[in-house]
Amino acid sequence: MKAKDVMVSPVVTISEEASLEEAARRMLENHIGSLLVVDREGRLVGIVTETDFLKERGIPFSTFRAPLLLGRFLDGDGLERVFQEARSTRVSEIMTHPVHAVRPEAPLREVLDLMLTYDINHVPVVDEEGRPVGIISRFDLLRPLMEKLA
């Protein structure tokens, strides 16, 4: 099997210049845990995942832990500060780059090797110009196995 056989397509992308607020909104609207980040020409430049929002990277918004983001320990002013920082922080500030991507014809073994080697959950699939055409999650790799076992 090849990457194109299991990838999810079309893929949801976001501009590297978009705010974290927009990224979170797009993830929630599409019920997904990652967005592929593209430049002005639509080429893949990074990936942002739900865990990137919580990693400590020296960005004020990301220093809050999940319970704080949910408002458990924040008062109204604290929550407003989190929302303001989400509006002013760009996706490019928290995205993971460079991205480990494959072409549609790549064997699934290559996808799995990337996931295991780099401890990543998502592998983008790009065309010859580097534009995203799909994405493969660890779950997507399990689907063919489950079909064979059924």
The predicted structure's pLDDT at residue 148: 76
Mean pLDDT of 136-142: 92
- Torsion-angle region of 18 (φ positive above 0: left; ψ -120 to 50: alpha; else: beta): beta
* pLDDT above 60 (res 52): yes
Q: What is the pLDDT of residue 145?
A: 77
User: What is the CATH number for 133?
Assistant: 3.10.580.10
Reported as a single tens digit per residue, the pLDDT across 9-41 is 999 999 999 998 899 899 999 989 899 999 999
Please, what is the average pLDDT of the chain? Answer: 84
- Tokens linked to 120: 């990543």
Whether the CB-CB separation of 94 and 62 falls below 8 Å is answered with yes
Pairing of strands 34-38, 13-15: parallel
Q: How many domains does the chain contain in total? A: 1
Write out the residue range of the structural domain in which residue 14 sits. 3-149
| Secondary structure class of 125 (helix, strand, coil) | strand
Residue 77: pLDDT band with limits 50, 70, 90: low
